[in-house]
Structure 1
Amino acid sequence: MSTQSNLAGAYLAQGTIGNVGMPGAPIVHFSFVVVPSQHKVSGAVQITQATENGNYSGQVTGTLYATGLGNVTQIVAVKGTIHSEGVMPIEIPFEAHLAIDGSWNGTGGFSYANTHVESVPVTSK
């Protein structure tokens, strides 16, 4: 019996979620391994913010589905745990959702701790 996974078509997606260039705005930098044949996404996120103790990073997993809705060709939802990069490293839940095109550009949102951001740009690298 074979236990190999079907990773055909897997690729790396990298980019940002948030209002890049807006002073003080939290920005999520993501790097995901995407396996469309399994509808799976996994990887790392790093949140940067121009405030003291405003940076976080962690691992996430989630799902990706094709939509057929005009320019929004894919919906992605990820969740995981991030930790503070400050003096007191605490772990907190993180979730993000993206409505994107095939190039990983579109609109999304994310939440962690008491921060909830909606309807911000998703931009691929």
Structure 2
Amino acid sequence: MSQDLQLVKLQFETGRVGAGSMQLQLAVQGELQTIDGTASGTMLEGTQHPKKFSGRITGVTHATGLGTQILVGALQGQVIVTTEGGGASAYLAPLSAQFSVDANWNGTGEFRIADQSYECRVTRIRALEMAD
């Protein structure tokens, strides 16, 4: 029986100076349409001390069958956000993300941490398919 499992590393980038970015490392189970993985990244928010975040995420995927954007996904989880500098701190925040990608895992997306939202270009850094 085929496992239809892919290991995918995606980069979410806004393309704007001073905005956030995120990297996802995902295990995508195609038959079950599930995603499990980790998220990490940076929120700059115009401060001289960027906030870094990391945590676990889960979600679902759906094949669209429409045009070149053949897969959509929705993820949610909790991340630990840390700040360094004068007022070093750490806190737990909700994370959600959505994406629409082509067969090469490139497309568009958005991620939100607490009340900060970032529209992004999504690019595949790496993808592996597991053998049967």
- Measured against the shorter chain, the TM-score band is 0.7 to 0.9
After the TM superposition, which residues 1-125 of structure 1 pair with which residues of structure 2 at under 5 Å, given as runs? 8-20=3-15, 22-50=16-44, 51=47, 52-86=49-83, 87-118=88-119, 120-125=120-125
Which protein has greater RCO, CA pairs closer than 8 Å, 6+ apart? 2
In the alignment of these two chains, the number of paired residues is 118
Q: Is the 8 A contact 2:42 2:50 kept in 1?
A: no
Cα distance in 2 for residues equivalent to 1:85 and 1:58:
12
**Structure 1 range deviating more: 50-59 or 60-69:** 50-59
Cα RMSD, aligned residues only: 1.6
Cα distance in 2 for residues equivalent to 1:80 and 1:99:
19
> How many percent identity over aligned positions?
26
- How far the C-alpha of 1:48 sits from its partner, in A, is 1.6
Cα distance in 2 for residues equivalent to 1:49 and 1:84:
9
In structure 1, the gaps of 5 or more residues are 1-5
Deviation sequence 1:81-120 (CA, Å, 0-9, x none): 00113332211100000011121100110111221123x2
Cα distance in 1 for residues equivalent to 2:115 and 2:17:
19
Amino acid at match of 1:9: D
Runs of 4+ in 1 over 6 A off after TM superposition: none
Distance 1:95 1:82, change over 3 A: same
TM-score (norm 1): 0.86
Cα distance in 1 for residues equivalent to 2:115 and 2:13:
16
In structure 2, the gaps of 5 or more residues are 126-132
